[in-house]
Amino acid sequence: MFVPDLRVCLTRGAMLFLTLVAGCGSDDGGDTAPTVQRSPELDAVSLKSQRGGTSHEAGNNCMTCHGPNGTAPGRFTVAGTAVTSARKPNPDATITLSTAPNGGGTVVLTLEADASGNFYTTQAAPFPDQSLYPRVTSRATASVNFMPFPTMSGACNVCHVGSNPVDLD
Ligand code: HEC
Ligand code: HEC
């Protein structure tokens, strides 16, 4: 997260402060250098979610920390959180990414949710060059849910937050 340099803003005078805050803070993702030095050892860690395992931060964007600008071990290519219709972690969810909607075409990646409902991997994914269609099924029920259009990002929880989680009955 970019932190605006308030000292610079303040030297321009209190009258202008309110308007300048937006200007000073708008460099996010712009031409400024990354604020985090991510060590290569962190990227060398291989991780993949497994049935029954546990993890943390359910519902949050894993790539904030497990991504190029974070300092957590393992650089996730795909990660997110599956919940039930009651918005509880869904440990029975299986996520596939395929070249056509609803599991059609070629299945490129399959991930099992862990006990926290989280699914994640560091294995290679073709994003953002290729877009893929997510589908979620349950090993416990016959439920299916799929994204009707493809995503070019594996950071599922960027969009699947609040009232729009990756859910399944
Ligand atoms: C705020 C930063 C942050 C976020 C967001 C975050 N993590 Fe982490 N994660 C860490 C850090 C730091 C560690 C290493 C220390 C630890 O185990 O707590 C870690 C460790 C892990 C580990 C264990 C790695 C190992 O080597 O054993 C897994 C698995 C994991 N995170 C999964 C996730 C998933 C899945 C998400 C998203 C739902 C996520 N994390 C979101 C910071 C984060
Ligand atoms: C750029 C934003 C974005 C990203 C990234 C994204 N999705 Fe979606 N997804 C959506 C939107 C918008 C919908 C439609 C929501 C609706 O119908 O209400 C949707 C629908 C879905 C659905 C259909 C069921 C539902 O909950 O509405 C599933 C399943 C799904 N996405 C899974 C995933 C998975 C898994 C990932 C990560 C690989 C992912 N999505 C990444 C935006 C995104």
Tell me the CA–centroid distance for residue 168 and ligand 2, in Å.
Answer: 12
Does the pLDDT at position 73 exceed 80? yes
CB 59 within 8 A of CB 157: yes
H-helix segments, 62-110: none
Tell me what pLDDT residue 4 has.
45
What CA–CA distance (Å, rounded) separates 133 from 144? 13
Tell me the CA–centroid distance for residue 52 and ligand 2, in Å.
Answer: 24
Across 6-20, 30-44, 55-69, 83-97, least confident range: 6-20
Tell me what pLDDT residue 169 has.
76
Tell me the CA–centroid distance for residue 108 and ligand 2, in Å.
Answer: 17
What CA–CA distance (Å, rounded) separates 107 from 97? 6
Tell me what pLDDT residue 30 has.
47
CB 118 within 8 A of CB 58: yes
Ligand 2, CB within 6 Å, residue ranges: 78, 80, 95, 97, 134, 136, 145-147, 151, 153-156, 158-160, 164, 166-167
pLDDT digits (tens, 9 = 90+) for 78-137: 999 999 999 999 999 999 999 999 999 999 999 999 999 999 999 999 999 999 999 999
Tell me what pLDDT residue 34 has.
61
The dihedral formed by the CA atoms of 54, 73, 57 and 82, expressed in degrees to the nearest 10: -60
Chain-centre distance of CA 38, in angstroms? 18
For residue 97, give Cα distances in angstroms to 32, 57, 67, 78, 143. Answer: 33, 22, 20, 10, 17
User: Which pair of tokens denotes residue 151?
Assistant: 């995503």
Band the pLDDT of 40: cuts 50, 70, 90.
very high
Tell me the CA–centroid distance for residue 146 and ligand 2, in Å.
Answer: 8
Tell me what pLDDT residue 37 has.
86
For residue 30, give Cα distances in angstroms to 6, 27, 63, 66. Answer: 18, 5, 18, 21
pLDDT digits (tens, 9 = 90+) for 132-161: 999 999 999 989 999 999 999 999 999 999
User: Which pair of tokens denotes residue 162?
Assistant: 């609040």
Does the pLDDT at position 27 exceed 70? no
What CA–CA distance (Å, rounded) separates 95 from 147? 11
What domains appear along the chain, each with residue ranges and CATH number? Answer: 1-33 (no CATH), 40-168 (2.60.40)
Q: Ligand 2, closest atom to CA 152?
A: 5
Tell me what pLDDT residue 117 has.
98
Please, what is the average pLDDT of the chain?
A: 86
Does the pLDDT at position 31 exceed 70? no
What CA–CA distance (Å, rounded) separates 110 from 102? 13
User: Which pair of tokens denotes residue 94?
Assistant: 């299986």
